[in-house]
């Protein structure tokens, strides 16, 4: 993951340099201080998917272009076969596999998210972003946190939410949970 963070930081720095955007502007937009943002650009610190989405949408890119350095080319349709799709491990607990990365100008970000169990987790990291989000549990069981609420979701359950509300999730039990996530602005 260290190499992924480094490459992501380079892409963020390249975007900022190409558009002549000050570090402070991006840091303020995603709600962190400039020093923390500088560590992200150096590949020393991770950035949430929701903050990548904020940056991508603000500057007219797809989230996949920032995450994976892949430019979508398809404009009629795009097929992603089982087990395929560009994947990135955003943290030790989450793996995101883009299901729309090949389609140019897609209106929604769609990910297959695998959440590994963390039985001793005491802190649930929540994030927020513009728009709305739909999550459908394909396998496993998870606790979904939104604002001050916690909601148990089992296989087949779904939740639709205002993504500006801080939200996060935790796999329950000893097996990973798989979630289909749609995010639209």
Residue 37 belongs to domain with CATH number: 1.10.260.40
7-11, 36-40, 180-184: which range is least confident on average?
7-11
Residue 106's pLDDT band (cuts 50, 70, 90): confident
Arithmetic mean of pLDDT over the chain: 83
Amino acid 93: pLDDT: 65
Q: Are residues 63 and 91 in the same domain?
A: no
The first and second tokens of residue 177, run together, are 């949970």
Q: Are residues 58 and 110 in the same domain?
A: no
Residue 72's pLDDT band (cuts 50, 70, 90): low
Closest listed residue to residue 181, CA positions, set 125, 98, 104: 98
Amino acid 123: pLDDT: 74
The stretch 90-101 carries a mean pLDDT of: 73
Judged against a pLDDT cut of 60, whether residue 1 lies above it is answered with no
Examine the fold and report which residue of 68, 102, 121 is the final residue of a domain before the chain moves on. Answer: 68
Q: Are residues 174 and 105 in the same domain?
A: yes
Q: Are residues 102 and 173 in the same domain?
A: yes
Q: Are residues 54 and 143 in the same domain?
A: no
Cα(160)–Cα(170) distance, integer angstroms = 17
CB atoms within 10 A of CB 137: 21
Please work out, in degrees rounded to the nearest 5, the angle formed at the alpha carbon of residue 8 by the alpha carbons of 7 and 12. 120
Q: Are residues 98 and 168 in the same domain?
A: yes
Q: Are residues 59 and 134 in the same domain?
A: no
Q: Are residues 64 and 97 in the same domain?
A: no
Q: Are residues 57 and 99 in the same domain?
A: no
Amino acid 57: pLDDT: 81
- Which residue range forms the structural domain that includes residue 27? 2-68
User: Which has more pLDDT, 56 or 123?
Assistant: 56
Amino acid 27: pLDDT: 93
Cα(47)–Cα(8) distance, integer angstroms = 9
Judged against a pLDDT cut of 70, whether residue 34 lies above it is answered with yes
Amino acid 134: pLDDT: 95
User: Which has more pLDDT, 152 or 48?
Assistant: 152
Residue 133 lies in a domain: yes
Residue 56 lies in a domain: yes
Q: What total of structural domains would you count in the chain? A: 2
CA 33 from centroid of its chain's CA atoms? 20
């Amino acid at each position: 993951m260290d190499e992924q963070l480094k490459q992501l930081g380079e892409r963020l720095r390249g975007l900022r340099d190409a558009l002549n955007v000050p570090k402070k502007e991006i840091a303020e937009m995603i709600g962190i201080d400039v020093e923390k943002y500088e560590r992200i650009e150096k590949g020393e610190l991770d950035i949430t998917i929701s903050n990548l989405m904020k940056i991508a949408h603000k500057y007219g890119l797809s989230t996949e272009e920032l995450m994976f350095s892949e430019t979508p080319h398809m404009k009629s349709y795009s097929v992603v076969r089982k087990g395929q799709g560009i994947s990135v491990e955003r943290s030790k607990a989450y793996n995101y596999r883009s299901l729309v990365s090949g389609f140019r100008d897609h209106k929604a970000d769609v990910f297959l998210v695998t959440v590994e169990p963390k039985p001793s987790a005491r802190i649930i990291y929540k994030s927020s972003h513009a728009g709305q989000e739909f999550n459908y549990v394909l396998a496993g069981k998870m606790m979904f946190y939104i604002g001050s609420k916690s909601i148990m979701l089992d296989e087949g359950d779904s939740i639709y939410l205002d993504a500006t509300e801080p939200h996060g999730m935790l796999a329950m039990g000893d097996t990973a949970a798989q979630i289909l996530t749609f995010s639209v602005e």
